[in-house]
Amino acid sequence: MRAIFAKTFKTKTRDEWCKVFDGSDACFAPVLSFSEARRNAHNLSRKSHVTVAEVEQPAPAPRFSRTPGEVRRAPPERGEAVRRPCATGGSMRPRFSG
């Protein structure tokens, strides 16, 4: 059955499949790239992305009315997660207490 589905889905591009399902009641949504998701009308209306320190990123989720999520700091620089433990003499291996 997987082979049949794979063969069928390969017969059209993503955009062609979107046209096939447009206006139907099928549970369908295309897989978007990050750039496409940021420009998607639904995501724009829901404010699903935020910009912090000139870096666009997904907004915190879930969002509750009494305790809304917030971005507390700028995103890490590339490699920062590796440099920080090494700079303090820490180990890269996780520690488990138990």
DSSP codes of every residue in 42-63: HHHHTT-EEEETTEEEEPPSS-
CA–CA gap between residue 11 and residue 17 (Å, rounded) = 9
Using pLDDT thresholds of 50, 70 and 90, give the confidence band for residue 66: confident
Task: Output the pLDDT for position 85.
Answer: 60
Q: Which of 26, 37, 7, 44 is nearest to 18 (CA)?
A: 26
pTM: 0.59
Amino acid at 15: D
% pLDDT > 90, the chain? 53
Task: Output the pLDDT for position 1.
Answer: 94
Q: Is the pLDDT of residue 98 over 60?
A: no
Task: Output the pLDDT for position 89.
Answer: 60
User: What mean pLDDT comes out for the span 18-47?
Assistant: 94
Tokens of 98: 């138990």
Q: Is the pLDDT of residue 11 over 60?
A: yes
